Structures are given as C-alpha cells and as structure tokens.
Chain A
C-alpha cells in the first residue's frame, strides 16, 4: 500500500509540475507574441 500511496503522491506532483511548466511556457508565449492591434496602438 505504501507503493500505491507513493505512486499517488508522485504522479500528482508530476502532473502539477507539467502544468506549471506549461503555464510558464504559455505565459511567455503570450508575452513574446503580442496582438498586432496592440502594436499599432503603441
């Protein structure tokens, strides 16, 4: 059962880690590529 508990904890940590990295990647992507309309306004 300890193995199963270990699996539950590590797998959830891995998922949230992947989500965190994807969040960072998308945030950076959104910052780097700005909408054209905004550029014109600037």
Chain B
C-alpha cells in the first residue's frame, strides 16, 4: 500500500473534499449541457476541464500541465478572447442595429451594472469596509462580469491581473447561460403587461451593402480614437464583421464562423474548466464573486429597461421598454427572452428584430465598457 501511495498510482487515495466537490460541479455542468441542453457548447468543455483539473495527481492543471499551458498561452496572453471576438464579429448581422441606431443608447445604459458592482465590490474591499481582499483592480474585474460577455470579461480580468480570474470567468460564462432565468422576473417587475404588449413599427427596406461595409471601419476608428484601450477588442469584433460584410472574403468569414469559432471555443472552454481547481476555487470570496455577478447582470437589465421606459415616453409609446433589457449584450439569448415575453403579453407582438438591434448595440457597448475598465491600469 505504501508503495502504491508513494508511486501515485492510486489517485483516489489523494482525493480531497475540495477536489470531490469540484468534480461534482464539473459533472453537474456536463449534465446541464448534455441532458438539459443548457449552452452545451460552453458547459460541456467547461465541465470536462473542471473534471480533468481535479483528478488528483493528474497534473493537468499544475505547472507544466496541458491546462496550465493553455491558460498561459491563451488566457493570460488574451489571445483566446480576441480570436473569439473575430468569430463573433463574423457571426453577427448588425443590420437590425443599423436600422435602429438609437438602440445604441440602450446598449450604453445597460452597462451601468458593471460600474455599480465595481463600486460595491470596492466598498466591501480596500475602498471602505475591508471585509474582503478586493483591490481596485479586483473590483473592476468583478464588475466586468456585468458585460454579459465572456471574452470581454476574460480580456479585462487578465489585463487587470486579478487574483480572482477563475471564479470571475466561470461566473461570466455561467450567467450567460442563465440569462433566460435572470432577466424575465426583472423585466416583468419593471414593465406592466400593457407595456410588454406594446407593438413596435416594422422597418421596411434593407440596409445598403456600402453601409454594412463602412460600419465596422467607422466603429474601429471612432471607438478606437475615443477609447484606445478598447481597440484590440473592438478591432477584432469589427474585423470579423468586415470579413462577413465585404463580400470578397467569404471563405475567411466561413472559417471565422465555423472552424475558428469551434476550435477556440473548445480550447477556451476546457481552459476555463481547468481554472476550477478545488483549492484555488473553493474560497468564501468565490461565492461573493458569484453574488456580485448576479447583481451586475440584474442592474444591467434594470438600467436598460429604465432607459427603454424613458424612450417609450419620449417617443409617444413607439418603443417597447423591454428591448432595453437586451442592451446587456448576451447575444442572442437576451433577444429571445424579450421576444418570448412580448409574445406572452400579445400573441401578435414580434419584437425579435428590435431586440436584436439593442442586443448587438449592447455587444459594442460592452466592449467599450471593458475598454474603459482597462483604463484603470493607469491607477
């Protein structure tokens, strides 16, 4: 027995309670993905990575292990999130947004949760109460969970070098999958049935191809010049979209939407799961990070809907306030939530394209919000 213990052949003798808990969580994530079809593309690789990382003596998540190598090469260097952004850009059709440019303000307003959560996290930490070990940069990274955008969260948290990278990234991806559960009660609490039933005018016509081609170029220049720290993120997002819209790079656009997206999602998912090693992950602060993440998502929804209500009043009830909730990014789950709520209130109320406009605007706004958070590196 002593030989077996010393040789490391019997991994189960080295099991810790933290490792067992994390393996169960990994199993739960895979079950949610496979059996319940909840974001399987994300949860299956994350769950598998979590399971592999917590097998004792496996060494996958230790120095030199393949998950550590992936983490250092893809997440610490910020390469994975940027590559994912090229893929996302190639997948997104910005036409609903280009037809309703006013929705960009809904996207901007729905980033408030990021900053409020940052404020609360900093107040709990070094800023005021000192009950937690949250520095200014930790608080900013936690707040960025509210961008409802996994790659942006990874990018910002990596640059700000937070010590809570693993729980922040896992929270960001988990809550993305939970948008259909988090948002509806908040929207219903803020909007009456009559408001939810409000129909919006259908936009007739198509956006000229020239506008679709110029749009990503204009966004890179404008956003880059005003907020240079957001340039890598917005640059990759818009580069992907340019590949989609320019009409002469179909093979590159297809590759970005399929091969690049799938490969990086596999690598990113298993790496994020690999960051869930028991000892590092199971801390009281992890629970706080998850709680603050929900606060960020909830407040994003609240601020988006409130601006939506203001637009409804100013426009003479031509805007359904629910589309403000889609400003949180989380594309396209948030749009689907609003479409479903609209149909529940009025079977003839199709809000999907309006919601998609706000949702894609939120995608841009969340990247800008990530960029302005990175400006904290100057502090």
Q: Which residues of A are interface residues toward B (Cβ below 8 A)?
A: 1, 3-5, 7-8, 11-12, 14-23, 25-27, 29-30, 33-38
Whether B376 lies near A7 (C-beta < 8 A) is yes
Would you list 12 pairs from A and B whose C-beta atoms are within 8 A, ordered by A residue?
A4-B122, A4-B136, A11-B369, A14-B368, A17-B226, A19-B105, A23-B101, A23-B104, A29-B211, A29-B214, A29-B215, A35-B205
Which listed residue, B118, B207, B364, B369, touches A4 by the CB 8 Å rule?
B118
Chain B at the A interface: SS class: helix
CA of A29 to CA of B123, assembled, Å: 43
Is B206 within 8 A of A8, CB to CB? Answer: no
**6 more CB-based (< 8 A) A-B contacts, given A7-B118, A8-B115, A29-B218:** A8-B116, A19-B105, A26-B218, A30-B207, A33-B208, A33-B214
State whether A35 and B104 are in contact (beta carbons under 8 Å apart), knowing that A14-B227, A26-B98, A30-B98 are contacts in the complex: no
CB-defined interface of B89-107 with A at 8 Å, one 1/0 digit per residue? 0000000001001101101
For the residues of A in contact with B, the DSSP-based class is helix
Q: Which residues of B line the A interface, CB within 8 A? A: 98, 101-102, 104-105, 107-109, 111-112, 115-116, 118-119, 122-123, 127-128, 136, 139, 205-208, 210-211, 214-215, 218-219, 222-223, 226-227, 361, 364-365, 368-369, 372-373, 375-376, 379
With A11-B369, A17-B226, A26-B218 as known contacts, state yes or no: A1 contacts B105, CB within 8 Å: no
